Amino acid sequence: MIPIAPIFIKSKETLQKLSLLLDEERLAYGGSDSEVIISLSEQKQTLLDEMNQLNEKRVNVLIKFDVLDRKKPTEQDFKDWLNLQDSSMDEVRLLMQECEALLKKCKTQNNTNAQVLNTLQKRNKYLFELLQGHSSKNKVYTSRGSTRPISSKQTLGRA
């Protein structure tokens, strides 16, 4: 029997941690605490590195047992092979399905966080321009054809 169940178990645990971390990250964006956001980002990168290592380990084990082609290993080849196995591989099938569901959830959470971050960046840029007296609506063309904002003489800093 191929020893890949422990790899899937560890992958599942890592994806669960990542999901919780992504929830924390979304909440941290609401708090606007940059130190917490940076810390969470570093933790997220560590978990992603761990997932990459687990995936490499899984592929190497499958290549070693001649399940996957050494030159061009694909996920579909593994799934096709797994579907041909008897009931002794049911645990691996279940773990793989759970990992795929968790991965899909993490991707959705990460995309949501990216949208929240993008909105916050736009808001902060607008507020910064407002403080400087610039407006994205008030721009003029330079002699080279690019645009630059018109500075207001009544900026908040000069008031």
Which of residues 23 and 136 earns the better pLDDT score?
23
Domain ranges, ordered by start, for the chain: 5-122
CB environment 16-55: b (16+ within 10 A), e (fewer): eebbebbeebbebbeeeeeeebeebeeebeebeebbeebe
Inform me whether the pLDDT recorded for 91 exceeds 70. yes
Which of residues 141 and 128 earns the better pLDDT score?
128
Residues 38-78: pLDDT tens digits? 999 999 999 999 999 999 999 999 999 988 888 898 999 99
Tell whether domain 5-122 is in CATH 2.60.40.10.
no
Inform me whether the pLDDT recorded for 111 exceeds 80. yes
Which of residues 81 and 157 earns the better pLDDT score?
81
User: Quick one: what percent of the chain has pLDDT higher than 70?
Assistant: 86
What is the C-alpha separation between 136 and 151, in angstroms, rounded?
11
pLDDT value, residue 123: 87
